[in-house]
Each structure stands twice: as C-alpha cells, then as structure tokens.
C-alpha cells in the first residue's frame, strides 16, 4: 500500500471553528489532492497541488484553503466550519499527470462532523 496517512481520522467540531486536516505521504509523489465524499455526490475535488507551494481549486473549493510547504505534506483548512462541510475527506496522491492522472492512491480518510 502507498504510504499515505491522514490526521485526524475522526473529528467533531462546532460551527464557526477553524479546522485543519493533514495529509502526509512518504512516496515523494508530485501531485496531491483533497476530495470530499458525500452520499449522492460521489467524490468531488476540493483542491489539488502540482508541486510545493503550487495549488489550485477544484470543483467545490468555497470555504476551503490549502497549503503545501513540503512535498510530503498537504494541509486542508476549513476557515470557519459549517454543517454543510460535514463529510468524509480523502487525500490522494499521484506520480504523473495527463493520461496517467487516473492512477491515484488514497489515504484512509477523515470523518468530519460539524455540529
């Protein structure tokens, strides 16, 4: 299995509080991604990174920010959590882009509940 960890694995937080999720990889892959998964919506891309300090928005980026200061770490921050951000968050990595972009390896996920 690819070396990807996420922390925390579970979190309950209150509306309006900031939350940071961490993704850590030991594969030295260039590309990293944050997805959320909700019933009826499947996996949706929040943000992605194509290198250290190089990030861009996905399809559901509102309310989220990211940072990547090292190859191995990709942080997702909810500046002020809302109940609509209750979800399962997956981090993924890939070694290539273009047609090889589909070979992604996922972390175990973080279950976030915003009350």
Partner 1 sequence: RKEVEQDPGPFNVPEGATVAFNCTYSNSASQSFFWYRQDCRKEPKLLMSVYSSGNEDGRFTAQLNRASQYISLLIRDSKLSDSATYLCVVPPLNDYKLSFGAGTTVTVRA
The contact set with partner 1 (CB under 8 A) reads: 31, 33, 40-43, 45, 48, 50, 56, 58-59, 90, 97-109
CB of 81 to partner 1, least distance (A): 22
Q: How far is the CB of 18 from partner 1 (least distance, A)?
A: 25
Does residue 3 contact residue 26 with C-beta atoms inside 8 Å? yes
Q: Does the bond joining 8 to the residue before it have cis omega, within 30 degrees of 0?
A: yes
Least spacing, CB of residue 94 vs partner 1, in Å: 8
């Amino acid at each position: 299995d690819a070396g990807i960890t996420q922390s925390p694995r579970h979190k309950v937080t209150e509306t309006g509080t900031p939350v940071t999720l961490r993704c850590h990889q030991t594969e030295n892959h260039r590309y990293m991604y944050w997805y959320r998964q909700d019933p009826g919506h499947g996996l949706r891309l929040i943000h992605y990174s194509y290198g250290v300090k190089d990030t861009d928005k996905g399809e559901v980026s509102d309310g989220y920010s990211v940072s990547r200061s090292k190859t191995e770490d990709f942080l997702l921050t909810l500046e002020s959590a809302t109940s609509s951000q209750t979800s399962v968050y997956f981090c993924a990595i890939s070694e290539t882009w273009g047609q090889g972009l589909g070979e992604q390896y996922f972390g175990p996920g973080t279950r976030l509940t915003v009350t």
